[in-house]
Amino acid sequence: MKKVILFSLTVMAVSLLFAKQALAVCPICTIAVGAGVGLSRWLGIDDSITGLWIGGLTVSMITWTLSWFDKKNIRFRGRALATISGYYLLIVVPLYFMGIMGNPLNTICACGLDKLIVGIIVGSIAFWFGASWYYHLKEKNGGHAYFPFQKVVMPVSPLIVMSLIFYFLTK
C-alpha cells in the first residue's frame, strides 16, 4: 500500500512540473499557502492553525487541477467530485497513518473533533470564499482587479484572519 501511495504522489508531482499555466488560483497564492503550512509546523503552532493552511493549499490544488482539465478538454462524469475526493484522501489518509491526525489528545475539547480536521475544513471554506469573492469583484469591475495582487491577497486574507482567530481561541 505504501508503494502505491508513493508511486501516486510521485506521478502527480512529476505531472505538475509539466503542466501549463492555468487561470485558476495564482501560483503565488499556492506558494504562500504552502509556506504557511511548513512554517506553522516548524514553529510548533497549534494543529488547528496548520490545518487552516493545509485546507487552503488543498482548495488551491483542486482549482488548478479542474482548470487544467478544462484546458485539456478532459471531461467525464463526476470529474469535480473525483478530484475533490482524491486530493482530500491524498492529504488526510497519510496524516492519519503517520499518527499526526487521530490522536485523542489532539482534539477540540468540546466537540472531540481532531484539530487538524477542523482546521482543514475551515481553511478550505475560507480559501474558497476568498477566491470566489475575488472573481465576483473582478467581474463587477469589468474583468479587472481593484488593486495590484488582489488575486493573491483575497484568498490568503481569510486564512490569515482565521489563523488569528484560532490562535486566540486555542491559547
Long-range pairs, 111-116, Cβ under 8 A, ≥24: 114/47, 115/46, 115/47, 115/48, 115/51, 115/170, 116/47, 116/48, 116/50, 116/51, 116/54
Model pTM score = 0.76
pLDDT value, residue 104: 81
Which of the residues in the chain have pLDDT under 50? 4, 9, 11, 16, 19-24
- Backbone φ and ψ for 169, nearest 5 degrees, come out as -75, -30
What number of other Cβ atoms are within 10 A of residue 82's Cβ? 11
